[in-house]
Structure 1
Amino acid sequence: MTTPQAAPARAAYREVFAVGEFRVLFAGYTLFLGGETVKMLALSVTVYAGTGSSLLAALAYVAGFLPYALGGTLLLAYADRWPPRAVMAGYDLVRAAVAAVLAAGLLPPAATLVLVLVAGVPGAVAAAARSALLPDLLDGDRYVLGRAVFSMAAGGTQVLGFAAGGLLIAALGPYGALWITVASCLLSAALLRLRLAGRPGRGAATGHAVRQTWRVNRALLRRPAVRSLLLAQWLPPALVVGAEGVLVPYAARIGMPDSAGLLFAAVALGMLAGDLTIGRLVTPERRERLAGPLALLLGAPLLGFVLSPGPVTAALLLAVSGFGVAYQLGLARRFLEAVPEAHRGQAFGLALTGTMTSQGLFAAGGGALGEVTAPGLAVGAAGAASLLAVLGLWRVLAPLAAWEGTASCAQAGGR
């Protein structure tokens, strides 16, 4: 293990947005998030209304997450082989076609889930291409702030998306609202194709894509620094998403089913506030030192759900939990330094695959737990599990000085 470099000089958000291609990438990502948010909420509400099943509602909510397990296992080599612009724009067109089929309203719940799961498999490649392109556009602390902007987009777009999604579903019905996703996909594809510069693939093909994907994934996971940082990115937030998988049933249980959109939006608003505050007001070195304490915020507030709070209190607890997601800003630079540049696309794809897969599995698990216990207890259990994961990973999430000391000792010992 090698000692990481010192944190770079502090940058400003205006420096990030001064890069024209970043603005294009950001706009495409925002359109992607908005369309997916409306789609996820519409499917979850539709499936729960039709079946009354917490498990199926959770599966509908995470139907776009689980395919990353297949995409990350079989296809990630294409994130480095293929031009990133073609990968991202092409996947937007696939998403538009799928959303149009769903909006037609002809499929039963089971077929709907299968279609979304299958169509989401190449999403791992598109997300990896997008993440790997970001360091090409931004360097130093601008890259970390660029990551923060993307995370803020995830929070802000979901706040607006869930709020607008609730209104759209009320006005147009869930199937009518899905046409918004179709439009957003087509607009994103056009924007990326026309405004983003074409770039060749990052790496050369070395054999069959599936075998190359397996080989590079294994090589990355054998690196202690990469493996530990991946686990630190995956586990704490994935366990919290287990709570999000039962928010629709929770809202119904407390007698206010229409508040589900408020609860989802609270998580996203907390994420937005956390990334804006930590990215704007905290120095690069201090961000890395705060990774552990911020990670504790993910699970701690969710313990309050065992008391079955009303929608306002529940939304506040979820917002604080969402704020804790900013801990990942303290890991961004270290992870970028730890991965080989030739396989950067696959490394980011592996990180995203693990994130999406683990979140999907834990959300499904939360839905399954919601079948046998009260939704509030399921949310509290998810929070407790996240706290335990943070404590188990504290050595990775520890203040930078302690981490560097550990790395230096390991290096002195010949490891």
Structure 2
Amino acid sequence: MGRSIGGVKGATFGEVFAVKEFRVLFGSFALLVGGDVIKMLALSVLVYARTGSPGLSAAAYMAGWLPYIVGGLFLLSLADRVRPRALMVAGELVRAVTCLLLAFAGLPVWAMLALVLVTGLLSPVFLAARMAMLPEVLPGDAFVLGRSMLNMASASAQVVGLAAGGAFLAVTGPSGGLAATAALSLVAAVVLRTGLPNRPARGATGAGAVRETLRVNRRLVADRRVRGLLLAQWLPCVFLAGAEAMVVPYLGGQGAAGVVLAAAAGGMAAGQFVVGRFAAPPLRERLSLPLAVLLGVPWLGFALWPGIVWASVLAAVAAAGLSYQLGLQRRFVEAVPEEVRGQAFGLQSSGLMTGQAAGAALVGALGEVIAPGYAIAAAGGAGIVVALALAKALRPSPVPSTEGRS
């Protein structure tokens, strides 16, 4: 039974996992995240082995994220115009074929990067279809806990994916790592195809996909409530990503940086669990503002140049603040018309990816001018200022509603 506090019924993790469709979405999402981490790590190593260029190797690692910008701007309407199960299965099959071509087709480096960029254009569409299905299978507060579980799965799968990717690369080389990602994608495709019902598309077909995407994006951004919630989910994370991007130059070695970044992933998972499990829905929404501020505060400590232990503690506490987003999820679902829900979730994810890339670039540029510790502290300070500036959007409406938009 869910807990009822202040007249608002809160779900439990047990109730969430009792839903078969959520279990399918959760398991396939963990496979997706872990597989993508292995894929980009293996591609980066493969490009470096071919070229000996650190710059091209880094470009290969980031290539999987760059298409989110273009796909998010021009293709997201497909998430509402195609049946969601078909989209998700197609996404897994595209990933599998891409990895096999990268591993065994003997492509030149420019062709490998082009393949990743082109096939990645639909990645935000595939992800949007998955996220938009979540409130359909988990009504009410269960949806918020479902998002919490997916966030925890993402953090855990990234850590496991990096470890597994390193193991595969050590034993089989980068081609083996890419083949392993293809295998994970095929397993996920089977799980999705057999475990999900064939739900109809939410939106009607009509104008071209690009035109419709641009039209709906303008409509969503023009809505003051939706725009505020989007900015509240995007902007604080810009400076978190910027601070994390400076951890490697701050510590002067990727091994030590890996410890700090793993601690951040652990802090993120812990924050999602604690806020999702123990905070009742009204409290969860009231915590959004202070937790968003918390996202920036610990990074200020890097101005004192802490060692690896304290750096790990500060990073973990800061990343725990990401749980502020849980308090925005109900309001976001209610603010968005159901027929464009897929595109709205895609816009949310694409903006988040774009903002994180921009944050890493901005703080990285700052790190060229001042010492890395001070750049991290500056990112934390900027994050605090942004969270306070977004206070109106981060605070819940005076009378929380438990009714979802029909």
TM-score, scaled to structure 2? 0.88
Match of 1:205 in 2: 205
Change (3 A) 1:102 1:309: farther
- Over the matched positions of the two proteins, sequence identity in percent amounts to 52
Alignment check: 8 A CA contact 1:159 1:266 kept? no
Match of 1:244 in 2: 244
Asked if 1:349 is matched to 2:346, the reply is: yes
1:40 Cα offset (Å): 3.5
In the alignment, the residues of structure 1 paired with residue 317 and residue 54 of structure 2 have an alpha-carbon distance, to the nearest angstrom, of: 29
Residue type of the alignment partner of 2:398: E
Change (3 A) 1:183 1:369: farther
SS at match of 2:202: coil
Match of 2:82 in 1: 82
In the alignment, the residues of structure 2 paired with residue 107 and residue 374 of structure 1 have an alpha-carbon distance, to the nearest angstrom, of: 40
Match of 1:412 in 2: none
Change (3 A) 1:136 1:360: same
Match of 2:223 in 1: 223
Match of 1:268 in 2: 265
Match of 1:408 in 2: none
Match of 1:404 in 2: 398
Unaligned runs of 5+ in 2: 1-5, 400-406
Match of 1:360 in 2: 357
In the alignment, the residues of structure 2 paired with residue 260 and residue 96 of structure 1 have an alpha-carbon distance, to the nearest angstrom, of: 30
Alignment RMSD, CA only? 2.6
5 Å-filtered alignment, 1:173-322, equals 173-251=173-251, 253=252, 256-322=253-319
In the alignment, the residues of structure 2 paired with residue 72 and residue 341 of structure 1 have an alpha-carbon distance, to the nearest angstrom, of: 18
1:104 Cα offset (Å): 4.7
| Structure with larger RCO (C-alpha < 8 A, sep 6+) | 1
In the alignment, the residues of structure 1 paired with residue 148 and residue 109 of structure 2 have an alpha-carbon distance, to the nearest angstrom, of: 36
1:176 Cα offset (Å): 3.6
SS at match of 2:9: coil
Residue type of the alignment partner of 1:334: R
1:51 Cα offset (Å): 3.3
Alignment check: 8 A CA contact 1:57 1:367 kept? no
Change (3 A) 1:274 1:231: same
In the alignment, the residues of structure 1 paired with residue 91 and residue 241 of structure 2 have an alpha-carbon distance, to the nearest angstrom, of: 25
In the alignment, the residues of structure 2 paired with residue 47 and residue 302 of structure 1 have an alpha-carbon distance, to the nearest angstrom, of: 33
In the alignment, the residues of structure 2 paired with residue 331 and residue 290 of structure 1 have an alpha-carbon distance, to the nearest angstrom, of: 10
Residue type of the alignment partner of 1:99: C
In the alignment, the residues of structure 2 paired with residue 177 and residue 368 of structure 1 have an alpha-carbon distance, to the nearest angstrom, of: 32
| Higher mean C-alpha deviation, range 170-179 or range 201-210 | 170-179
5 Å-filtered alignment, 1:4-83, equals 8-43=8-43, 50-53=52-55, 59-83=59-83
5 Å-filtered alignment, 1:329-340, equals 329-340=326-337
Alignment check: 8 A CA contact 1:162 1:264 kept? no
1:257 Cα offset (Å): 2.8
Residue type of the alignment partner of 1:298: L
Alignment check: 8 A CA contact 2:260 2:315 kept? yes
Change (3 A) 1:8 1:379: same
Residue type of the alignment partner of 1:278: V
After superposition, the C-alpha distances for 1:26-45 in whole angstroms (9 at most, x for unaligned) are 11101001111223444556
SS at match of 2:10: coil
1:154 Cα offset (Å): 1.0
Alignment check: 8 A CA contact 2:71 2:124 kept? yes
In the alignment, the residues of structure 2 paired with residue 354 and residue 229 of structure 1 have an alpha-carbon distance, to the nearest angstrom, of: 12
Match of 2:402 in 1: none
Change (3 A) 1:185 1:171: same
1:77 Cα offset (Å): 1.0
In the alignment, the residues of structure 1 paired with residue 40 and residue 108 of structure 2 have an alpha-carbon distance, to the nearest angstrom, of: 16
In the alignment, the residues of structure 1 paired with residue 261 and residue 313 of structure 2 have an alpha-carbon distance, to the nearest angstrom, of: 11
In the alignment, the residues of structure 2 paired with residue 326 and residue 129 of structure 1 have an alpha-carbon distance, to the nearest angstrom, of: 23
1:17 Cα offset (Å): 0.7
1:101 Cα offset (Å): 3.5
1:310 Cα offset (Å): 3.4
Alignment check: 8 A CA contact 1:230 1:351 kept? yes
1:127 Cα offset (Å): 0.9
In the alignment, the residues of structure 1 paired with residue 246 and residue 113 of structure 2 have an alpha-carbon distance, to the nearest angstrom, of: 17
Match of 2:403 in 1: none
In the alignment, the residues of structure 1 paired with residue 174 and residue 310 of structure 2 have an alpha-carbon distance, to the nearest angstrom, of: 27
In the alignment, the residues of structure 2 paired with residue 366 and residue 166 of structure 1 have an alpha-carbon distance, to the nearest angstrom, of: 28
In the alignment, the residues of structure 1 paired with residue 99 and residue 307 of structure 2 have an alpha-carbon distance, to the nearest angstrom, of: 34
Alignment check: 8 A CA contact 2:237 2:355 kept? no
In the alignment, the residues of structure 1 paired with residue 182 and residue 119 of structure 2 have an alpha-carbon distance, to the nearest angstrom, of: 14
Change (3 A) 1:15 1:261: same
Match of 1:133 in 2: 133
1:353 Cα offset (Å): 1.5
